[in-house]
Amino acid sequence: MGGEVETLSQTVSGRIVLANPDGLLLPGMYAEVTLSGMASEGLMVPASAVFRLGDQNYVFKVLGNGRFEPVVIETGTETGGWIPVIKGITADTDVVSRGVAELKSHWQYGAGSE
């Protein structure tokens, strides 16, 4: 996707996937598109960082020196591999996004759950 507005034509190039059963749409054609919905800003974490236990979602907060702490979070709906965090951590919280299953296993079974 281009992302920058073309100065002279005031257009933005992009890509969209549409059904085209009659073949009426061809590559390079122009379209006027109206996007609707609610845009919002907020904290997002990779989906790989979030794990579920019972009816709660968690992330592992990085404490430093090889230590981690599970934190309960309230989440929104995953989009494109990212999950919005509504409550539980702040933007300056470092979370684990790889190896979460191993940390979860250690935490659940008592080895390293300090």
Q: Which CATH number fits domain 44-108: 2.60.40.1180, 2.40.50.140, 2.40.110.10, 2.40.420.20?
A: 2.40.420.20
CB-based contacts of 62-65 (< 8 A; 24+ apart in sequence): 62/94, 62/95, 62/96
Q: What is the pLDDT, as a whole number, of residue 112?
A: 46
The runs of H, that is alpha helices, within 1-114 are 100-108
Intervals of the chain under pLDDT 70: 1-3, 36-40, 111-114
Domain map (residue ranges) of the chain: 44-108
The per-residue pLDDT for 2 is 52
- Bridge partners, 79 (sequence order): 82
- Confidence at residue 91, expressed as pLDDT on a 0 to 100 scale: 93
pLDDT of residue 114: 46
Q: Is the pTM of this model over 0.95?
A: no
